[in-house]
Amino acid sequence: MPVSLSLSRTPRRTAEILMTCALLLTGVALTGSPAAARSSLGPSYRVARVADGDTITVTIRGTKERVRLIGIDTPELARDGEPDECHARAARSAMKKLVAGTRVHLKRDSSQANRDRYGRLLRYVYTAKKKRDVGRTLIRQGRGREYTYRKGYKHRSAHRKAQRQARAENRGLWRACASTEAPAPTADPGTCAIKGNISSSGERIYHVPGQQHYDETVITPSKGERWFCTEDEAIAAGWRRAEV
């Protein structure tokens, strides 16, 4: 009799176990779903102003905060008597189209400082409506270049992939500003092949042939960037060597 009861309950017990497993699997799937990932973006903030292609102002608890997007650098608008850089206005227009008058999510990257030297928050920016990564979207459109400051950031590989795609498709500044790019240096050791670049934060950094970002670094003389023949010359002029 005890054996008969045990056998009669086996199908029911099996069904209960299967149901429990199904619920657990469903929970795991939901946790890893895009919707769950989007919910981790936190509160959204109203965009009060678009300064240019990589800087916006948002209102956080009644306070206006300038936000500098991580991982992208767009051409500079006219300032200090210098004219607009190539594609600067197009980059700002693209940013406005994405976020002006809307709400956005801000996401910090622990590998980067909380603020830059100008007091701007350093954040990834996502549109509240479609949860689009604004920086990556602009790079993919060719509105700006991937930008690594000091050390790698979380989404660097995705940003670099977006840049490769934009460049391959000749989008945005890769098409409009081709004539402003410095010619590729020759292998002749007598040429001046060291690139003296100025970051968006104003830091002077030089890149030597063979370094990770050498080929993609563009020299724009109108913003004070220049070529150097030796590292000693670059250091004497106030530039420091790129870390990668």
Active site residue ranges: 68, 76, 120
- Placement of tokens 């701007």 in the chain: 120
Beta-carbon contacts of 118 under 8 Å, excluding residues fewer than 6 positions away, are 66, 68, 201
- Which amino acid appears at position 235 of this protein? I
DSSP-derived pairing of the beta strands 121-127 and 103-107: antiparallel
Q: Is 240 helix (H, G, I), strand (E, B) or coil?
A: strand
- Which amino acid appears at position 145 of this protein? R
Q: Which alpha helices (H) appear in the chain, and where do they start and end?
A: 2-31, 34-39, 88-99, 134-140, 156-168, 173-176, 231-236
Phi/psi of residue 153, each to 5°? -120, 170
How many other C-beta atoms lie within 10 A of the C-beta of residue 227? 17
DSSP state of 221: G
Q: Are 198 and 79 in contact (CB under 8 A)?
A: no
Q: Are 178 and 159 in contact (CB under 8 A)?
A: no
DSSP state of 82: B
- Placement of tokens 């799937």 in the chain: 29
Name the β-bridge partners of 79. 82
